[in-house]
Chains A and B, each alone.
Chain A
Amino acid sequence: MKGLLDGTTLVLVIPAFAAAVLAVLPGYRLSARLNMVASFLTLLAAVSLFFVHAQPGTYFLIDDLNIVFIVLSTIIGFTTSVFSASYIGHELETGRLTPTNLRFYHAMYQVMMFGMNLALIANNIGLMWVAIELATLATVVMVGIYRTHEALEAAWKYFILASVGIAFALFGTILVYMAAQPVLGEGLQSMTWTVLVAHVSKFDPALLNVAFVFLFLGYGTKVGLAPLHAWLPDAHAEGPTPISAVLSGLLLNVALYAILRFKMLMTLNSTAIAPGPLMVVVGLISVIFAAFMLYRRRDIKRLFAYSSIEHMGIIVFAFGMGGPLANFAGLLQMTMHSLTKSAIFFAVGHIAQIKGTQRIADIRGLTVTHPVLGWGLVLGVIAIAGMPPLGIFMSEFLIVTSTFAREPLLALALVLGLLVAFGALMLRLQGIAFGEPTGSAAPSKASYLPIFAHLTLVLAAGIYLPPMLVVWFQHVAQMLG
């Protein structure tokens, strides 16, 4: 009975319940509120996990690593629900969405939250796989919700590529099971995370290698690493902006979390291939590729989608480098990127609604017409471009310096990518935020709370990291090895 009340189950129960309710609830105002409330309660439940340490069960596991992810994703889930409440209303007025769509949308939102939380706390690699796929499919249908030609194409592309990814991930999971089965015997325990970690050193390395290749490609598809990224830009650009925000802020992280878990597994088995180099290489490819892709973007949401690819590349690079410094930096970068990027998407959503377009060329002089939104966007882009005093600067500082001392050439390549990306972002930013204003100057009724809440967090983190958080991250960095 107590089991129902502790955070572990609550983070699952609340979204599931909310999804069920929202699926039948008419009236978008009410459901939007309910959505907010549910997300908030989930957040509370997640935070409670800090204080009551649940013992790992056969299905659920709470350790320092995934608490970071859970709290992060619930926070962003909550702020996004706040944002979407003010965003969706406008969509309804302009008639891009119907009430039916909206009911569906809210239900799916909670389903997605459920999937992600499940994936994060699952102690069973099979369960994790199921959960991630659930979350993915939920986002697929939300991407296509506008039912425009582009939206459907995007959703379709996302769907197909994701399915292949799903298949790969499953194959990898099966292989891990088969590697574990001779040692641990048949049944659940050879898919239970904690058990696997305990005995992985005795597993067959060759099998683990193949498994990791498939898992990396499978989950990497959802992380959006080049060359598996193809779905990401379109899905971000064509779906509703709240979904772009959660995609960049959450889903990528969850997939990354899976990869990290399996990386831990690989590193614990001394005879298997070290996963680091693979991650480093793919990360670098993604960074540099995305950096160059940024230049030719005409659609503002696609632009930031590519920047997400770039940042995922940086993060994977950092974790691939390994070592306490780089891992710490990677975690920090991931947190900061989720917060910043979702904030940017909030801002972009409002901007696109006001200006009635997503074409970068049609948005000019934003700081003149909409100072708050404009400067908010400027702050966000500056943050994402890795400028102080915002958080990403710190993580990039750590990554580059620690790498350059160990692998100068890799660091140079990374810096090249960062610089090229920086150039593109600032070029577009200057076009959007400054110059002679164009487009409608209608005041926006949007609530700036989510944007500036995130940016404040990022700013604060860039200047002062609370020791508790630092200890936490350092411990996690140790875990990741």
Chain B
Amino acid sequence: MSVVILMWCVLAFLVVASIAIGLAKRRIATPMVYGATALIASVGCVTAFISLVSNQSATLRLPLGLPWLGANFHVDALSAFFLVVVDLGAAVASVYALGYGRHEQSAERVLPFYAAFLAGLNLVVLAEDAFTFLLSWEFMSLTSWALVMAHHRSADNVRAGYVYILMASFGTFTLLLAYGLLAGPDGHYGFEAIRSHHPDALHSALILGLVLVGAGSKAGLVPLHVWLPLAHPAAPSHVSALMSGVMTKVAVYAFIRIVFDLLGPPVWWWGVVVLALGGITSVMGVLYALMQHDLKRLLAYHTVENIGIIFIGLGLALAFSANGLLATAALALTAALFHVFNHSVFKSLLFFGSGAVLTATGERDMEHLGGLIHRMPLTAFAFLIGCAAISALPPFNGFVSEWLTFQAILLSPELPQWGLKLSVPAVGAMLALSAALAAACFVKAFGVTFSGRARTRAAETAHESDQFSLTAMFFLATVCLVAGLLPGFFIDAIAPSVHLVLGGHMPLQAAQPWLSIVPIAQGRSSYNGLLIFLFIAVSASLGAYSVHLFASKAKRRAPAWDGGYPEASPLTQYTAGSFAQPIRRVFGTLVFRAREHVEFPLPGETRPAKLEVILEDVVWDMLYAPISGAITFLADRLNVLQFLTIRRYLSLVFAALVLLLLAIAIWR
């Protein structure tokens, strides 16, 4: 039943898309489309949620796609969970876009693809055979590419779109190969058929690698992340939110579906590989983010970081389940899935915030912003909550999932293999590092954008954004808080999908005293966001009350003291670059080959002193530059063949003939 409703939703999305093409440039199109998508998405979200908690599974087979196979769609706990994530994000994004979309210059290039994109997102999660899956997967990439190209007049966006579509189809091809191995020579493309027979060790390893590359390139695992910081900022903000918050999660779904579900029993070293990738990704992502001063690009890099954290959880789950430690594996997987949900929530929130800033000031560059907390307090508040959540600060939701991950890491000594024993603590350190750096980065992001004084005219004249956007943002902020205060319920909701994948799940949380969460046992570790929050609230108000009781209430406004320097210009404020400087000093030389080039004018010279920082993107230089270089080289060399004389072409033919005849003469 549920699958039928969801497929109707997909159909509805597609219909909306086609209508949007028809409406093209009309003003009415924007509210109509976004209203419709919001409605459809919420229906889908509710349906998915119901089938998640009721843990029912349903299959639907349509006579489409591969003739002898048909297009199979399936909803089980896992896909239901991801559908909740997808459709929640979609619904909120649509609501946000009701306001944000008004400022869209070329709506006709956004609306149809937006609806189609939503359809694609849903389809990937619903697909139950290799062909349908890949079709939806590529369809998703294609529509999002069109959305990235929506503002195609700027050369950067075109480049971003190009890199994106290349990486996307590269990923698709690797997944294609993986499915080729899974399906075998006579093409059992149905997931059921694939589950029924497991490939041998070598093939499984190969498939794991392929899936890591394929799904990883979509999710943004280092070093396949390069498209992400280019494409996400290029798209309109609500689309960026979907791409960052939701599409990457669909990639995570692909990974879980194939590696945990289709591929059969895991081997312990898979865990090592995934863990290492996750750890590196999280740290690299956040370091890249720290170096950015473009708000949306910073957020995109943080997506990379969080994907890393999710994959750490997945790697742990693999390692534990390979050793049959079901409870712990369930803990790790729950942590990962919960972080999937959390990240989709607060990343969407943050992108909405940046979108609001963008519409208010027309600026994405933090160096040109500042002091927005005065001009747009509500947005600032919501954004602040998002920052706190993504920085894994209690009592918000980001902390809970990372806390769970840590708990899983702390259980790693139970693992028999030395490789895991020794690598997991290091990964734990990486996780802690990336969490702390994330906090640092969001102090920077919020501090430079919203705090301080306005650096430009645009920032001074900013205005608070519209109701729709604010509604969306505050809804998500509330979710962040609620998921942080009552994580037990969310964990219980996730439990069915974890059980489906691993055959085990965490202890029921709702039953715990005081609604606290207990991964393994009360005596071992527990956390109660609700109480913490209450304590803080109580003691804060207590402090405030007593202070106002005993202390003087007098307060005077005066110019900032700033260590005695009078009225410095806003330009003396700390910028994003200068804020990141200490951390750049620590990690930069290692990761970015950072060089600082200072030139002081000699005494008597009037020119200003200059400090320039050169950062190199090592990943790009090491991996992508050589590839494109090789292609260019070959293309140039081969291009000679376009300009030969007929005689030379004839000699080619002649050579081919003689070669083949020789082959025959020799062949016995």
> Cβ of A447 < 8 Å from any Cβ of B?
no
Asked if A69 lies at the interface with its beta carbon under 8 angstroms from chain B, I say: no
Is B638 within 8 A of A400, CB to CB?
no
Q: Which of B63, B149, B183 contacts A434 (CB 8 A)?
A: B149
Query: Which residues of A sit under 8 angstroms from B111, Cβ to Cβ?
Result: none
Known: A296-B639, A325-B187, A400-B173. A464 touches B63 (CB 8 A): yes
Given contacts A213-B661, A401-B176, contact A296 B635 (CB under 8 A): yes
B138–A388 CB distance below 8 A: yes
Q: What number of A residues sit within 8 Å (CB to CB) of B? A: 65
Contact of A295 among B63, B173, B635 (CB under 8 A): B635
Once bound together, how far apart are the Cα atoms of A278 and B66, in whole Å? 29
Interface residues of B in 409-458 (CB under 8 A from A): none
Query: Which interface residue of B63, B139, B632, B642 has the most chain A CB atoms within 10 A?
Result: B642
Give Cα distance in the complex from A197 to B186, angstroms.
28
The closest CB in chain B to the CB of A375 belongs to: B21
Does B142 reach chain A (CB closer than 8 Å)?
yes
A411 close to B177 (CB less than 8 A): yes
Interface status of B625 (Cβ within 8 A of chain A)? no
8 Å CB interface, B98-141 against A: 130-131, 134-136, 138-139
Contact of B511 with A by CB under 8 A: no
Contact code string B260-280 (vs A, CB < 8 Å = 1, else 0): 000000000000000000000
Q: How far, in Å, is B360 (CB) from chain A's closest CB?
A: 27
| Interface segment out of the listed A82-90, A140-148, A402-410 | A402-410
Q: Is B170 at the interface (CB under 8 A from chain A)?
A: yes
Could you say which of A33-41, A156-164, A187-195, A252-260 contacts chain B?
A156-164
**Are A426 and B165 in contact, CB atoms less than 8 angstroms apart?**
yes
Minimum CB–CB distance from A281 to chain B (whole Å) comes to 10
**A127 interface contact, C-beta 8 A:** no
A388 to B172 Cα, complex, angstroms? 11
Q: Which residues 589-645 of B sit at the A interface, judged by CB distance below 8 A?
A: 631-632, 634-636, 638-639, 641-642, 644
In the complex, A52→B512 CA distance in Å? 77
- The reply to whether the CB of B65 lies closer than 8 angstroms to some CB of chain A is yes
Q: Does B532 contact A (CB under 8 A)?
A: no
A401 contacts B180, C-beta separation under 8 Å? yes
| Per-residue contact bits, chain B 645-665, to A (CB 8 Å; 1 contact, 0 not) | 010011011011100110010
Q: Contact check: which of B65, B68, B170, B664 meets A213 at CB < 8 Å?
A: B664
B650 touching A160, Cβ below 8 Å: yes
Q: Would you call A217 an interface residue if the criterion is a C-beta within 8 Å of the partner chain's C-beta atoms?
A: yes
When C-beta atoms are compared, the residue in chain A nearest to B635 turns out to be A295
Q: Which of A70-78, A238-246, A389-397 contacts B (4 or more CB under 8 A)?
A: A389-397
Are B638 and A419 in contact, with the CB atoms below 8 A?
Answer: no
User: Is A422 part of the contact surface with B, judged by Cβ < 8 Å?
Assistant: yes
Give the residues in chain A near B186, CB-CB below 8 Å.
325
Question: Which of B64, B176, B634, B639 contacts A400 (CB under 8 A)?
Answer: B176
Set of chain B residues within 8 Å of A388, measured between Cβ atoms: 134-136, 138-139, 142
Secondary structure at the B interface, as helix, strand, loop or mixed, is: helix
Interface string of A266-304 (1 = CB under 8 A from B): 000000010000100000000001001101100000000
User: Range of interface residues on chain B?
Assistant: 35 or more
Question: Which among B131, B138, B152, B656 has the highest number of chain A CB atoms within 10 Å?
Answer: B656
> Complex formed: what's the CA distance from A221 to B654 in Å?
12
Contact B639 A293 (CB under 8 A): yes
Q: How far is the CB of A215 from chain B (nearest CB, A)?
A: 11
The yes or no answer to A228 lying at the interface (CB within 8 A) is: yes
Q: Which residues of A contact B165 (CB under 8 A)?
A: 426
Contact in complex: B653, A217 (CB < 8 Å): yes
| Stretch of B5-13, B153-161, B554-562 that contacts chain A | B153-161
User: Which residue from A168, A420, A436, A470 sits with its C-beta under 8 Å from B631?
Assistant: A420
Contact B166 A422 (CB under 8 A): yes
In order of increasing CB-CB distance, the 10 nearest A-B pairs are A404-B180, A401-B180, A434-B152, A295-B635, A230-B649, A470-B67, A405-B185, A296-B639, A227-B652, A388-B135
Query: Can you name 18 A-B pairs with beta carbons within 8 Å?
Result: A157-B646, A206-B664, A217-B660, A227-B656, A289-B641, A387-B138, A387-B169, A400-B177, A401-B176, A401-B177, A404-B177, A405-B181, A419-B169, A426-B166, A430-B152, A435-B158, A463-B65, A470-B67
Query: Which positions in B face A, CB cutoff 8 Å?
Result: 63-68, 130-131, 134-136, 138-139, 142, 149, 152-153, 155, 158, 161-162, 165-166, 169-170, 173, 176-177, 179-181, 183-187, 189, 631-632, 634-636, 638-639, 641-642, 644, 646, 649-650, 652-653, 655-657, 660-661, 664, 667
Report A's interface with B, CB cutoff 8 A. Answer: 156-157, 160-161, 164, 168, 206, 209-210, 213-214, 216-217, 221, 227-228, 230-231, 233, 273, 278, 289, 292-293, 295-296, 325, 365, 367, 382, 385, 387-389, 393-394, 397-398, 400-406, 411-412, 415, 418-420, 422-423, 426-427, 430, 434-436, 462-465, 467, 470
